[in-house]
């Protein structure tokens, strides 16, 4: 039996996320997942790929606000209320997509710019801003949306896959290097590669494409240090390369909404 064993939410793209026991599934992924994003002075998205120190900014959610803390100084934080003034929408760029977003204001921009040592601001994707899933799989994604995630509302990884990878190292790497939303136990290493239609808590999910990895897994999520030997990607490249891309994890879309919880079964069709 495949069972949902871990759930992760990353409220701000490329900042540190956190695990939860249950999560609401919305039209564009887990509630609050990657609904905020940092952009530069040209409104282009910023990520851990170019700025690994973003991993040192930790996110939390209260009943009515997003909280960001600097792990280097946990008493230093910024609080961003969910209820924002309805300022004018502005276009932001993420990969090849232009998305309508709303700036959360100068206080957050100043604080984040100071922590990261660069000029940036925080933007939010409101409910009426819809970003369609963009896939090369051939799957008809009409009516499928995502947040500020790279391309899909969910990333699925099996614990057995992570265990297989860790078996090739003298140290244990954190699952957080791969930033999944859904982690399952049971099954065999890399079984997620072949998962297509399944349900969790009655919600239909479809695995579309295996995830081609960039350099993000080489960043230690605890220290933001980039591995000088390009690990773990260098190891993955030896046995997980398909069409010149290093594969780890499965990109997933869904239909419907509801609640998923750790312990729920992945029911295969």
Q: What does the pLDDT look like over 86-107, one tens digit per residue?
A: 888 999 999 989 999 999 999 9
Average pLDDT, the chain: 95
- 146-174: per-residue pLDDT in tens? 999 998 999 999 999 999 999 999 889 99
Query: Does 18 score more than 90 pLDDT?
Result: yes
- pLDDT band with cut points at 50, 70 and 90 for residue 140: low
Average pLDDT over residues 12-36: 98
Share of the chain above pLDDT 70, in %: 97
Check pLDDT > 80 for residue 137: no
Backbone angles phi, psi at 109, to 5 degrees: -60, -45
Q: How far apart are the first and last CA of the chain?
A: 13
Domains, the chain, with CATH or none: 2-268 (2.40.33.20)
Q: 78-102 in b/e burial notation, b at 16+ Cβ within 10 A?
A: bebeeeeeeeeeeebebeeeebebb
Q: Which of 42, 41, 38, 67 is nearest to 50 (CA)?
A: 38
pTM of model > 0.85? yes
């Amino acid at each position: 039996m495949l069972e949902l064993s871990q759930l992760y939410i990353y409220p701000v793209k490329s900042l540190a996320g956190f695990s939860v026991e249950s999560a609401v599934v919305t039209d564009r992924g887990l509630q609050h997942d990657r609904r905020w994003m940092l952009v530069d002075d040209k409104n282009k998205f910023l990520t851990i790929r170019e700025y690994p120190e973003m991993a040192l900014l930790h996110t939390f959610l209260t009943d009515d606000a997003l909280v960001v803390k600097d792990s280097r100084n946990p008493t230093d934080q910024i609080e961003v209320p969910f209820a924002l003034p309805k300022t004018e929408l502005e276009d932001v760029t993420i990969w090849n997509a232009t998305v309508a977003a709303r700036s959360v204001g100068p206080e957050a921009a100043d604080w984040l710019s100071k922590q990261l040592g660069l000029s940036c601001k925080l933007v939010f994707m409101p409910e009426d801003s819809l970003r369609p899933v963009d896939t090369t799989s051939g799957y008809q994604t009409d009516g499928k949306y995502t947040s500020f995630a790279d391309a899909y509302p969910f990333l699925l990884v099996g614990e057995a896959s992570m265990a297989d990878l860790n078996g090739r190292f003298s140290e244990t790497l954190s699952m957080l290097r791969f930033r999944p939303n859904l982690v399952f136990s049971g099954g065999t290493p890399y079984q997620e590669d072949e998962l297509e239609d399944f349900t969790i808590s009655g919600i239909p999910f479809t695995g579309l494409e295996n995830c081609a990895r960039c350099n993000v897994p080489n960043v230690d999520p605890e220290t933001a240090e980039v591995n000088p030997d390009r690990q773990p990607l260098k190891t993955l490249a030896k046995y997980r390369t398909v069409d010149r891309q290093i594969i780890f994890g499965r990109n997933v879309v869904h239909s419907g909404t509801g609640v998923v919880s750790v312990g729920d079964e992945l029911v295969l069709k």
